[in-house]
Amino acid sequence: MSNEKELGDKGEELASAFLLKKGYKIIKRKYVSGHSEVDLVASIEGKIIFVEVKTRASAYLSDPSSLVTRKKQKQVIMAADRFMKEFHPEKESRFDIVIIITNKEYTSVDHIEDAFYPMI
């Protein structure tokens, strides 16, 4: 990959395809609300799923799931709250992480459901 944005975009495409194969419907990509963003908004079984996608060329020396810091979680939760109030106030939701490791040799996808919860 030539740069971080291209790698991130490729990861979001791979995550979308992965979720579609699992029966999810992709509602929105890159939902932005103020300074907060959610990579993917999906739905399955009547529930709204907010997905943070982490993409790396290698898992060496880092666990990509640990890259979703408390600060990032708060940003995703704020955007999700606005999305739910505007579009689906009656539905349940959850927060997932999709971890993509992709390079010339292989691609792996790991989906963590209920990866984090809204903080009070």
Summarize pLDDT for 11-38 with one digit per residue, the tens.
Answer: 999 999 999 999 999 999 999 998 899 9
- Indicate which CATH number applies to the domain containing 10: 3.40.1350.10
From CA 115, how far away is CA 81, in angstroms rounded? 17
Is 71 within the bounds of a domain? no
Domain of residue 26 covers: 4-62+86-116
Q: Which of 114, 110, 119, 113 shows the shortest CA–CA distance to 55?
A: 110
Within a domain: 70: no
The gap from C-alpha 58 to its chain's centroid, in whole angstroms, comes to 18
Judge contact between 110 and 98, C-beta under 8 A: yes
pLDDT at 74 over 80: yes
pTM of the entire structure? 0.91
**Residue closest to 61 by CA, chosen among 28, 101, 33:** 101
Is the residue at 18 inside a domain? yes
Assess if residue 78 is contained within a domain.
no
> Does 25 reside within a domain?
yes
Instruction: Please check whether residue 57 lies inside any domain of the structure.
Output: yes
Residue 62 pLDDT greater than 70, yes or no: no
- Give the pLDDT confidence score for residue 63 in this predicted structure: 64
Least confident residue range of 24-33, 60-69, 81-90: 60-69
Q: Does any domain span residue 56?
A: yes
The number of distinct structural domains making up the chain is 1
